[in-house]
């Protein structure tokens, strides 16, 4: 990706031609956790507005299958618009609630759950969010996030990967959600991206000791985002 340091890219001659999508830098880096290849199958379980779906399609050279899901009609319309503007043809948009239905069970090489969250990791860009959140939000959202992960896991093929991501800085929505998921699904284990040998310098810079993606404003000059990668095994953990 390119970093825009001045000006408005939407006011350039390239705008509207499907040649770029504007995203926060940390959000762009999250898709580095899913090095999908042309011809693979990817499920984007919370896809709107479509920036990550577009990035995944680019990495796959628009070859293969991406199923992009969102549950609200207006968000689905925005998702379709983003993909159409970007010229993405490999994506199939589905309006559904991932907590209630999973298309093509055990069929995907990669599943991304970019979960709805408190958004507290964006406080640098949106300082007023601190006044819109209350303590009760975190356990409520964490419960939804675990539910989404457990259900989305059904779509992961054996030896496939499940990536969970948030724009939250709070452990209740990040590490604790992952721990609860692993307690519920003994057929998944942590998957450090560094073990695959396919890690970009940008991603390497934001991986912690455990292989989690973790950006912090005071260290990386980015919003506080979190992501982790999990592998579906062919056995269950004891």
pLDDT at 238: 55
- Pairing relationship of beta strands 188-190 and 108-114 according to DSSP bridges: unpaired
pLDDT at 197: 74
pLDDT at 18: 62
Q: Which residues make Cβ contacts (< 8 Å) with residue 190, sequence separation at least 6?
A: 182, 210, 211, 228, 229, 230, 231
Record the tokens describing residue 206, joined without a space: 């934001």
Residues 178, 184, 188, CA angle at the centre, nearest 5°?
65
The pLDDT tens digits of the residues spanning 154-174 come to 999 999 999 999 999 999 999
Residues of the chain under the 70 pLDDT cut: 1-2, 10, 14-23, 103, 235-238
The pLDDT tens digits of the residues spanning 129-158 come to 999 999 999 999 999 999 999 999 999 999
What the chain holds in terms of domains, given with CATH numbers, is 21-232 (3.40.50.150)
- H/E segment holding residue 154: none
- Could you give the residue ranges of the DSSP H alpha helices within the chain? 25-30, 51-59, 73-86, 129-132, 137-152, 175-184, 201-204, 217-220
Q: How many CB atoms lie within 10 A of CB 74?
A: 9
Q: Mean pLDDT of all residues in the chain?
A: 92
First and final CA of the chain: distance in angstroms? 42
pLDDT at 12: 75
| Residues known to be catalytic | 167
Whether 146 and 98 have beta carbons less than 8 Å apart is answered as no
Q: CB-hemisphere CA count at 13 Å for 194?
A: 13
Distance, CA of 227 to chain centre: 7
Looking up tokens 């379980």, which residue turns up?
A: 45
Record the tokens describing residue 114, joined without a space: 């970019």
Q: Which residues make Cβ contacts (< 8 Å) with residue 199, sequence separation at least 6?
A: 32, 193, 207
Distance CA 31, CA 13 (A): 27
Closest by CA position to 177, among listed 147, 156, 155, 151 = 147
Helix (H, G, I), strand (E, B) or coil at 163: strand
């Amino acid at each position: 990706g390119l970093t825009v340091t001045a000006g408005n890219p939407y006011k350039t001659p390239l705008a509207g031609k499907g040649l770029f999508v504007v995203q926060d830098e940390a959000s762009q880096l999250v898709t580095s956790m899913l090095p999908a290849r042309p011809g693979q199958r990817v499920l984007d379980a919370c896809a709107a507005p479509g920036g990550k779906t577009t990035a995944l399609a680019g990495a796959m050279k628009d070859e293969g299958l991406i199923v992009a899901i969102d549950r609200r009609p207006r968000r689905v319309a925005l998702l379709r618009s983003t993909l159409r503007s970007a010229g993405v043809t490999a994506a199939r948009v589905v309006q559904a609630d991932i907590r209630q239905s999973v298309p093509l069970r055990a069929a995907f090489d990669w599943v991304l759950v970019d979960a709805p969250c408190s958004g507290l990791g964006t406080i640098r860009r949106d300082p007023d969010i601190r006044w819109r959140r209350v303590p009760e939000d975190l356990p409520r959202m964490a419960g939804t996030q675990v539910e989404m992960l457990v259900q989305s896991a059904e779509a992961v093929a054996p030896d496939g990967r499940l990536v969970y991501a948030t724009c939250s800085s709070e452990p209740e929505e990040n590490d604790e959600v992952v721990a609860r998921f692993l307690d519920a699904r003994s057929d998944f284990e942590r998957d450090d991206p560094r073990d695959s040998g396919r890690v970009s310098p940008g991603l390497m810079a934001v991986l912690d000791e455990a292989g989690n993606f973790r950006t912090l404003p005071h260290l990386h000059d980015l919003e506080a985002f979190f992501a982790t990668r999990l592998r579906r095994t062919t056995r269950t953990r004891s």
